[in-house]
Structure 1
Amino acid sequence: MIRLDNISKQNGSRLVFIEASAALQKGEKIGLVGPNGAGKTTLFRMITGQEEPDEGLILVDRGVTIGFFSQDVGEMSGRSAVAEVMEGAGAVSEVAAELAKLEAAMADPDQMDQLDAIIERFGEVQSRFEELGGYALEGKAREVLDGLGFSQEMMDGDVGKLSGGWKMRVALGRILLMRPDVMLLDEPSNHLDLESLIWLETFLGGYDGALLMTSHDREFMNRIINKVIEIDGGSLTSFSGDYEFYARQSALNEKQQQAQFERQQAMLAKEVAFIERFKARASHAAQVQSRVKKLEKIDRVEPPKRRQSVSFDFRPAPRSGEDVANFRGVHKRYGNKVIYEGLDLLVRRKERCCVLGVNGAGKSTLLKLVAGTAEPDAGSVTLGGSVKMGYFAQHAMDLLDGESTVFETLDAAFPHAGQGALRSLAGAFGFSGDEVEKRCRLLSGGEKARLVMALMLYDPPNFLVLDEPTNHLDLATKEMLITALANYEGTMLFVSHDRHFLAALSNRVLELTPEGIHQYDGGYSEYVARTGHEAPGLHA
């Protein structure tokens, strides 16, 4: 359906693709992987015609429709979320818009003299709308929005009043309703909660078109894709299978290439030593010449590209008392919405509590109450003796000083740390070399999240309160964080929609429900095994 034929592309002085080729066939569901900055977004933009390759061809079969979801959703306002999603459905949305105008015209007293003509046109447009499945379309649009976590009120409200994350869901809904022949999805899992994520998995599982997507959620990728295309060093390599297969295969390939490289280096060293030893002897001149020629003809094996693997080790956190956070009879409401009524909860030392609950159940509120950024209406929230807390909230990234560089930010937070220690810290969180001189206002969402993590974890607290800590992190940084937190000695209370993160780190589950809080000993995997569902909103 889509073929990339020997494409080359340069951005400024950086070569993104060098004579790279790949194909997307009917029914294939492909995960596009590669380090940050490898060119994933550039590839999407070239397939959709927003950019051209410098050399080579991008061939799309005639008549193939392409739907592209990207993080850059553009302006949305003045319409309901339902209307905005239906807008993506092509011809039928134009017919729907004309139908709405004609309905308004029929009720307009100033157009009474043209009523017959309007009614006649209305009949024609209405039958065309029916023909295109228009009446079923609104139902389908609502179904998609419901799956993505919208309430009826949000569906019918002005899309302009929604936050950026919800607008992203509207943009995604538009592509899903369109059901094009090919879907290009750039990080569709970024702004979704667990329920919406699992709904999207099911939807994409039943979608019979071709799919090319990026995602920093390995569990999500694993369940959907049947092929991986890796972008690395300007080339495209295809692997048949899911993400786990790709990870194993690429590690194996790297190991084999390293062994091959080392064998060849040993052989070359031997040949060079022979030449050096006998080049001055006339009796060995023919042998030396023959070996020199042999060396010139050998195809050199390249060493495998070394992934810059990041790792971070915690310094031991000071020990806290046994009781870390205590909620007693907590009441909390926002306007008419009751969040908690008499909530009692005790978080004990070394517990790693993940908080689950449907949208609006009060997950972030629970964390805010512990962190002291929100107050209970009644009851108390107290921290235990010797508790030193670190709180990661989504808005923490907005509090960075835009004019300071990465290094200046770390230096201001830890003035007594040596320059070497701070550079090591920056490197562990993905800021190597000159990147430490980057100003905070120029950082991407992922870079800001990494910097906030570095600030929080360098002098570790003994109680970590984390609200969606992995939202903007790439797969490599996420793995580093999981490894570091697995060895962390303190207590954790966290919200995440990443099932790999939940399963790897939790040892207690707090499920917020309208009836109160359900507590499960054992981690997220045990919770899934015991309840038979992966998220509280999926009881059906």
Structure 2
Amino acid sequence: MIAITNLSYYLGDRALYDSASLHIKPKQKIGLIGLNGTGKSTLLRMINGEFQPDEGSISMSGDCTIGFLNQDLLSYQTDDSILSVAMQAFERQNELQAQIDKILHEMEHDYKDELVDRLARVQDEFDALDGYSVQSKAEAILEGLGFATSDLERPLRLFSGGWRMRVMLAKLLLQKPSLLMLDEPTNHLDLPSIQWVEKYVQSYEGAVIVVSHDRQFLDNTIDTTVEVSGGKLNYYAGNYSYYLEEKSLRNEIQKGAFENQQAKIRQTERFIERFKAKATKSKQVQSRVKALDRMEVIDQVVDEAAKVHFRFQFTTQPGRHVFQLEDASKAYGEKVILDAANVTMERGDKIALIGANGRGKSTVLRVVSGDEPIEGKRRLGHNVSFTFYAQHQLESLNVKHNLLEELKYANPNKTETELRTVLGCFLFSSDDVFKKIKVLSGGEKSRIALAKVLLSQANFLLLDEPTNHLDMQSVNILIQALQQYEGSYIVVSHDRYFVENIANKIWYIEDHQIKEYPGTYEEYEIWVAERGLESAVSENAVVSSAPPQKSKSAPEPAPSKPTKTFSNEDAQKRKKAQKRVDELENTINTLEIEKKDIEAQLASPDIYQDQQALSKVNQAYTDLKSRLDQATSEWEEAMMLVEEYAN
């Protein structure tokens, strides 16, 4: 569908891409990953035609259409309703609707056969394009992205940037381009909306390229990972978890090859140094010099999995109770956030506050910090000192300071060596520490602000969306830092991987109360699923009370169901059908592995140089897909038999 061949792109004298190649196939779901600044968004803009490569080419089939969701769309404003903006996706249907309205208006004054014929033709085309259902499709997607029905007629300009981005995403999804490019689509979505987009992308009929720092979103949506590194596009035939395993294996192989080559180079250089003055060895010396010159040097493996080696300490131990709310109520006019809510946080609690946008999570953090007045009682525990991190606090960084000065201001008792160690943990090394705050990117400012929070010696942290604008490496650093932190904290985040790795309790707001689940996020998801709620984070279903206390080692088992009695004949048939299901699942797994191997061959630019080999691989791919479809069909039939004999 799209072929990227020998692509090079330069920023000044630095090569973002150097002879990079990639083949994008129809229906492929690609996760484009890499450190900040490696050129992921630049590649999307080149595919979209906004930037031109300095060398190489990007070619695509004539029927290829592209939809591109990027952060620039945040600035778009209009007085049109969000439903109207989303329906701009149906350009031809809108034109036909306008023609129908015009003809009907003319017929009110002059009812003649010519108008009737025109109306019939236009209505036929409108019907063929499913024009009568486009509004319901737009409404369904907007509501899936979190908009209330009452919001659909409100002007776009009245919504914040994050909500405007959702409208633009809805418009793109309705257009159904053959290639959908999503640049950080989860940045402005809450958990229910993220899960809705996941399901949509999974079933999307076209190809998708996603740039995201949300590991779980990538794992749940992509079948291919492309890593931008060293100016190349490195292809991995699997999701993000597969990429991590495969890259580790490739790194081990590369490390061994690098060490072997270095040993050979040292041996060759010793030979040259020893015999370069001997006339009898001149031919051998010259031969080895030329061999060194011709040698394709293997790069040393760079470990990108940064580790935190710093102990974040505080001097004052808090009492048993860190924080309490008693009969706390908070409302903005008619919008009630809390109503006589009661909650207690104890020393050592590491809490993730989750849920849909608009439920009041950030408000609760401000209530805890004392920044929001409430009815009722708010109590901080004995010897509790807290600090608050939120995105708007990036503006409080002193732009005239360099990085060392900013951290020194946060904790004057630390030595320069200690501060450099902290900066190193947050990926600032060498002369980076002398950078001025004003020249930092949004992600770099976030890392500095987080470093200041952890240096504050507070024993209680309040963190509002701390992973926004952080790449995966930085998120991993923050996870390690919080895992080592010995105090207590409350974190608001929509990043499920992050929450799973840093929280030992889950808070959620329901019925205007703060309710607690005493376990990890994964256990919480299981607990919700077992009770038949629609999703682990959806708050549409009502639970009458908070979950019962349980051990943290495993989720509480679901209530047992009555045992059903089967006849011997049914039991035998069910056993036979289940055996067939197991056989077919093994077959499907084997075929899917073979399919990924062939797709990896098709992704290699080299194979397109040999038409005979390409034809052979294409035929193998077609045969394999046919076998896979047949096995899947048989598996579905077998599963239906299993279910039939079970009922």
Match of 1:390 in 2: 387
Q: Does 2:520 correspond to 1:523? A: yes
Match of 2:633 in 1: none
Tell me the residue number matched to 2:546.
Answer: none
Given the alignment, which residue of 368, 378, 382 partners 2:366?
368
Q: Per-residue deviation at 1:392?
A: 1.4
Cα distance in 1 for residues equivalent to 2:339 and 2:124 = 53
In structure 1, what is the Cα distance between the partners aligned to 2:193 and 2:149? 15
Indicate the residue corresponding to 1:331 in structure 2: 329
- Matched-pair contact (CA < 8 Å) for 1:10–1:16: yes
Match of 1:90 in 2: 91
Task: Note closer, same or farther for the CA distance 1:505–1:538 as it changes in structure 2 (3 Å cut).
Answer: farther
Residue 537 of structure 2 is matched in structure 1 by 535
Which of 445, 453, 456 is residue 453 of structure 2 equivalent to?
456
Letter of the 1:326 partner, please give it: Q
Q: Which letter maps to 1:470?
A: T
Whether contact under 8 Å (1:405, 1:438) holds in the other structure is yes
Q: Deviations over 1:28-48 (max 9, x none)?
A: 100011111111111111111
* CA deviation after TM superposition for structure 1 residue 266, in Å: 1.8
Match of 1:261 among 247, 252, 258: 258
Say which SS state the counterpart of residue 483 (structure 1) adopts. Answer: helix
Which digits, 9 at most, give the CA deviation of each residue in 1:69-113, with x for residues without a partner? 01110322111111111112332244456667x59x96xxxx999
Distance 1:285 1:394, change over 3 A: closer
TM-score (norm 2): 0.77
Give the counterpart of 1:243 among 237, 240, 244. 240
| 8 Å CA contact retained: 2:410, 2:456 | no
- The residue type equivalent to 1:246 in the other structure is Y
Which residue does the alignment assign to 1:187? Answer: 184
Deviations 1:144-191 (A, max 9, x none): 111111112222211101111111111111111111111011111111
Question: Structure 1 residues 289 and 357, CA, compared in 2 at 3 Å: closer, same or farther?
Answer: closer
Secondary structure, counterpart of 2:152 in structure 1: helix
Unpaired runs of at least 5, structure 2: 530-534, 543-647
Alignment size in residue pairs: 533
Is the CA contact 2:387–2:456 (under 8 Å) kept in the aligned structure 1?
Answer: no
- Please state whether the residue corresponding to 2:467 is helix, strand or coil: coil
More relative contact order, 1 or 2 (CA 8 Å, 6+ apart): 1
Q: Partners in 2 of 1:11 and 1:279 — Cα distance?
A: 43
Kindly tell me: are residues 138 and 436 of structure 1, through their superposed partners in 2, closer, same or farther at Cα, counting changes over 3 Å? farther
* Larger CA deviation: 59-68 vs 258-267: 258-267
Is the contact between residue 482 and residue 505 of structure 1 (CA under 8 Å) also seen in structure 2?
yes
Distance 1:97 1:402 in 2: 53
| C-alpha spacing 1:280/1:515, structure 2 compared with 1 (3 Å) | closer
One-letter amino acid of the counterpart of residue 85, structure 1: A
Quote the Cα distance in structure 1 between the aligned partners of 2:58 and 2:373: 57
- Counterpart-to-counterpart distance in 2, 1:97 and 1:347: 60
Alignment-derived partner of residue 61 in structure 2: 61
Q: How does 1:509-520 map to 2 (within 5 A)?
A: 509-514=506-511, 516-520=513-517
Is 2:75 the partner of 1:79? no
**1:273: which partner in 2?**
270
CA distance in 1, matches of 2:140, 2:210: 23
Alpha-carbon shift at residue 315 of structure 1 (Å): 2.4
1:171 aligns with 2:173: no
Conservation of the 8 A alpha-carbon contact between 2:342 and 2:513: no
Judged with a 3 Å threshold, the aligned counterparts in structure 2 of structure 1 residues 63 and 455 are, in CA distance, closer, same or farther, namely: same
CA contact (8 A) 2:225 2:237 kept: yes
The correspondence for 2:496, drawn from 492, 496, 499, is 499
Give matches, 1:58-457, under 5 Å: 58-73=58-73, 74-96=75-97, 102=102, 128-280=125-277, 288=285, 291-307=288-304, 309=306, 311=308, 313-318=310-315, 319-376=317-374, 378-433=375-430, 435-436=432-433, 438-457=435-454
Q: Structure 2 vs 1, CA of residues 404 and 113 (structure 1 numbering), >3 Å: closer, same or farther?
A: farther
Letter in 2 for 1:2: I
Equivalent-residue separation in structure 2 for 1:374 and 1:136 (angstroms): 45
**What's the offset of the Cα at 1:471?**
1.8
* Maintained 8 Å contact 1:90/1:178: no
Instruction: Mark the CA change 1:325 to 1:269 in structure 2 (over 3 Å): closer, same or farther.
Output: same
- 2: distance between equivalents of 1:255 and 1:4? 28
Q: Give the letter for the 1:56 counterpart.
A: G
Q: Structure 1 residues 337 and 21 mapped into 2: Cα distance closer, same or farther (>3 Å)? A: same
- 2:110 and 2:339 map into 1 onto residues whose CA distance is 57
Structure 1 position 286, deviation (Å): 5.8
Q: Is the 8 A contact 1:508 1:520 kept in 2?
A: yes
Contact 1:17–1:235 under 8 Å retained in 2: yes
Moved more, 215-224 or 439-448: 439-448
8 A contact 1:69–1:171 mirrored in 2: yes
Query: Which stretch shifts more, 290-299 or 347-356?
Result: 290-299
Whether the 8 Å CA contact 1:356–1:509 is kept in 2: the answer is yes
Describe the SS at the equivalent of 1:374: coil
Secondary structure in 2 aligned to 1:387?
coil
Q: For residues 406-432 of structure 1, what are the alpha-carbon distances to aligned partners after superposition, in whole Å with 9 as ceiling and x for unaligned? A: 444334333454444434433332334
Is the contact made by 1:356 and 1:536 (CA closer than 8 Å) also made in structure 2?
A: no
Q: Which is further off, 84-93 or 431-440?
A: 431-440
1:78, 1:325 → 2: CA distance?
A: 45
SS of 2:216 mapped into structure 1: helix
| Residue type at the aligned position of 2:2 | I
Any idea what SS the aligned residue of 1:174 has?
A: helix
- Return the alpha-carbon distance in structure 2 between the equivalents of residues 48 and 62 of structure 1: 14
Contact in 2 for aligned 1:485/1:505 (Cα 8 Å):
yes
Secondary structure of the corresponding residue to residue 71 of structure 2: coil
Larger mean Cα displacement after TM superposition, 22-31 or 460-469: 460-469
Largest Rg, 1 or 2: 2
Q: Distance in 2 between matches of 1:520 and 1:331?
A: 21
Mapped partners of 1:70, 1:495: distance in 2: 24
Q: The residue matched to 2:475 in structure 1 has which SS?
A: helix
Q: 400-409 or 512-521: which moved more?
A: 400-409
The C-alpha deviation readout for 1:376-419, integer Å capped at 9, x for no partner, is 1x111111011111211232223334455444433433345444
Letter in 1 for 2:236: F
CA distance in 2 between partners of 1:10 and 1:308 (Å): 27
CA–CA distance in 1 between the matches of 2:333 and 2:120? 46
Structure 1 stretches lacking a partner, 5+ long? none
> Structure 1 residues 519-528 or 282-291, which shifts more?
282-291
Measured against aligned partners, the alpha-carbon deviations of 1:308-350 in whole angstroms (never above 9, x if no partner) come to: 8363523222321110010001011111112111101000000
Displacement of 1:124 in angstroms is 6.8
Structure 1 residue 275 displacement after superposition? 3.6
